Structure 1
Amino acid sequence: MSRVWDVPVDDSTRVRDVRVAAEEASACAGLAPHRTATAALVATELATNLSRHADGGRVLINLVERGYDAGRRLSVQLVSLDHGPGIPDVAEAMRDGYTTAASLGAGLGTCKRIANDFDLHSAPGRGTVAVARIDHDPVARGARPTVPRVGGVNVPLGRAEHSGDAWGRVCEGDRLTLLLADGLGHGAKAADASTTAVRHLPGVAHRPPAEILRELGRSLRPTRGAAVAVAQLDLASGQVHFAGIGNIGARLRTAGRWRPLLSQPGIVGAQAPASVPVQREPWHDDSLLVLHSDGLPARWPVPDDAALAGRDPGLVAAVVLRDAGSAARPVGDDTCVVVLGGGSARAQV
């Protein structure tokens, strides 16, 4: 199931809670003690910055799959979000060795060096978002495949342990298949439905999106069902194919313009339509695809900040999540945002 740690950081006393959550997540991912210590250090620095400089915020911790083959393992992803004043000098804050008082002396620059992935975005008056991932190994062994980048962030309703949303992806040659599922309702049964969809994706990812949805319908019949969307990127043809059933939102930026991709009413595994149309759109190096569950408001601001171009897709997903709400307006449902970035770059997630 989609285990999530959602820790509010209202004051300095919550820094310890974030560190403990990072250690729990590391245990769930099977990280060795030295990598657990790295996750705890990064978590402490992020939480300390929230407490001291942002008037509070939150740290989300997800377990994410790394790699694209059968040997992929879980890693710990830490996401720090706030609606604070922003960082006046990001370059200085990211300088290795720069730190704030009362921190462990690590600094954001050191966090970037010891984490397998680290990215940060800050805007005056909007706040700061940072994303870090801790793998089993300090340095990736061997070359990573050159594939389009994918990243996401998953938030449970009411800070529950499990989210009813889940996402997954499979990359085979020039084809990448991305899936987002929102289990009907909330809680463990919703999580069972969404994770069932993700678990069965590798066995059907070679099929077109509409057929994938049909096959997943059979797999989800023992569950309460889910809203599911599938986006399949074919690099050889330069096209992305999309099909969805239920309340999964999608927006595609291609050739500098945003347009919605539409899902059909229904529930995969319960009340799916007899046929599902497939949208086919061109894909360019600067294209960006955002999938999200219905926990995100229908009218969320698209990430048109030029500073986000080419950034870690998990960071873009976190910015979308942060900017769609506020500290005073919590989400009303499990919420998952997944971003497929344009072009080919070294795999992030």
Structure 2
Amino acid sequence: MSGGAVASLPEGLLDGGVWFRMEEPGSASGARRAAERLAAELAVPERRIADLSIVVAELAGNLVKHAEHGRLFMRAVRTDDQAGVELVAVDTGPGMRDVAQALGDGHSTVGTLGIGLGAIMRQASWSDLHSVPDRGTVLAVQVWPGPPPTPAWAAGLVRPLTGEPVSGDGCAVREAAGRRQVMVCDGLGHGPLAARAAQEAARGFAAAPAAPPSVVVEALHRALGHTRGAAVAVAELDPAAGVVRYAGLGNVVGAVLAGGGARRGMVSLPGIAGHQRRQIREYEYALGPADVVVMHTDGVVDRWDPSDYPGLLTRSPQVIAATVLRDGGTRRDDAGVLVARL
């Protein structure tokens, strides 16, 4: 790709991310061009843009040819010294019975050449995959200009209501003065005004004092006063103490999932950040080394059972979140999922 000027990207593609429906051959080429523009705006070197183009072409092509209800999520990812592109491919296709075999070049279940997954893994800086026969596959990859950073300890994904260009749900992650904190919010309603509330919540979360979750939620309540308001929840993972501290207002759902699949719910109190705050209380829950914290908005229903997904809770936060969003998210509302682990 030439190093000249590039067209401006749609709002939200740089950091919030966008979803592409992979159902027609033309959608694959559209996703590839969007990835190239995104990488150029992030000042990714041309050599790595070429690698990214291969990754997107293979991911999108596989979804179009073989997947059912294939979707491709794309966004920028950043560290203090570099920026890259993250892609998450989601489908409800036949899945893989032998992932290791499927990753080898030359393997194909449909008579094609079978080099796609191998090419993706070689060109990507980082990747993670989970697949269940008859349920589908989730594959997350990142392409960085230089050596990839340490894999993320937390990640979230949001998806707008069908027919809306933006989502009123939001997720954010931060490390502030040694505190590992995550936030999930659900702007009231949907559409641009709900999305604005979610954006303000993310800004308020980044600017909040390095303090316990209850103090952060109080700061978010003040920050959202000029918006239509939102349900919000903040969790803090403390590896040294082996606990997660949690505070929430409204109907954000939080839970600790044990390695064996047992679920312990976390308590959010009634209210709307920015408008109705009866009380903000903080609760503490035990958190083991193999446990996973999952938080989601009311656009995701708890109809998925971790025991139906062998090995899922050992995968990356991106793959877990995308799986929950795929199988628990509704199309009648914005949906957001965040996953964090020690």
CA contact (8 A) 1:3 1:163 kept: no
Corresponding residue for residue 39 of structure 1: 52
Given that 1:4 and 1:162 are in contact with CA atoms closer than 8 Å, whether structure 2 keeps it comes out as no
Aligned counterparts, 1:89-238, within 5 A: 89-95=98-104, 107-135=116-144, 137-140=145-148, 144=149, 149-158=153-162, 160-172=164-176, 174-238=178-242
Name the CA shift for 1:213/1:259 in 2 (closer, same or farther; >3 Å): same
1:337 maps to 337
Deviation of 1:162 after TM superposition, in Å, equals: 2.6
Aligned residue pair count: 326
How far does the alpha carbon of each residue in 1:262-297 deviate from its partner, in whole angstroms, 9 at most, with x for none? 212221112222x22212101111110111111112
Q: In structure 2, what residue type is equivalent to 1:93?
A: A
- CA distance 1:90–1:255, shift in 2 (3 Å): closer
- Are 2:32 and 2:56, in contact at CA under 8 Å, matched by a contact in 1? yes
Letter in 1 for 2:234: V
Q: CA deviation at 1:30?
A: 4.7
d(CA) in 2 for partners of 1:102 and 1:15? Answer: 17
Query: Cα 1:223–1:20, aligned 2, differ >3 Å: closer, same or farther?
Result: same
1:85 aligns with 2:90: no
Aligned to 2:254: 250
* Unaligned stretches of 5+ residues in structure 2: 1-11
Deviation string 1:39-67 (CA, Å, 9 cap, x unpaired) is 33222111211222224411122344x34
Residue 273 of structure 2 corresponds to: 268
Moved more, 303-312 or 227-236: 303-312
Query: Could you give the per-residue CA deviations for residues 105-137 of structure 1, whole angstroms, max 9, x where no partner exists?
Result: 8621231232222111111111111111223x2
Do the aligned partners of residues 272 and 97 (structure 1) sit closer, same or farther apart at CA in structure 2, a change above 3 Å counting? farther
Q: String of CA shifts for 1:215-274, please: whole Å, max 9, x gaps.
A: 11111112222111100112221111111111211111247421111212221112222x
- Report how far residue 312 of structure 1 moved: 0.9
Q: TM-score, normalised by structure 2?
A: 0.85
Which amino acid in 1 is paired with 2:62?
N
Q: Structure 1: 5+ residue runs without aligned partners? A: 344-349
Instruction: Show the counterpart of 2:289.
Output: 285
Deviation track 1:183-235 (CA, whole Å, cap 9, x = no partner) reads 22222222222122222223325211111111111111122221111001122
DSSP-derived class of the 1:36 partner: helix
CA distance in structure 1 between the partners assigned to 2:68 and 2:244 by the alignment: 41
Query: 1 CA distance for matches of 2:268 and 2:37?
Result: 37
- 1:323 deviates by 1.9
Q: 1:321 to 1:28 in 2, by over 3 A?
A: farther
The structure whose RCO (Cα within 8 Å, separation 6+) is larger is 1
Determine if contact 2:249/2:270 at 8 Å carries over to the other structure.
Answer: yes
Q: Residue 202 of structure 1: SS of its match in structure 2?
A: helix
Q: 2:306 aligns with which of 287, 303, 315?
A: 303
8 A Cα contact 1:226 1:268, kept in partner = yes
Identity of aligned residues (%): 35
3-state SS of paired residue (2:89): strand
Q: Which of the numbers 232, 244, 254 marks the counterpart of 1:240?
A: 244
Question: 2 CA distance for matches of 1:194 and 1:47?
Answer: 29
RMSD: 2.7
> Which string of whole-angstrom CA distances, capped at 9 and with x for unpartnered residues, describes residues 148-204 of structure 1?
711222212225443222211222465301111222222222222212222222332
Determine if contact 2:158/2:167 at 8 Å carries over to the other structure.
yes
- Does the CA contact (< 8 Å) of 1:62 and 1:153 recur in 2? no
1:7-28 deviation line (CA, Å, top 9, x unaligned): 2222333221222332344355
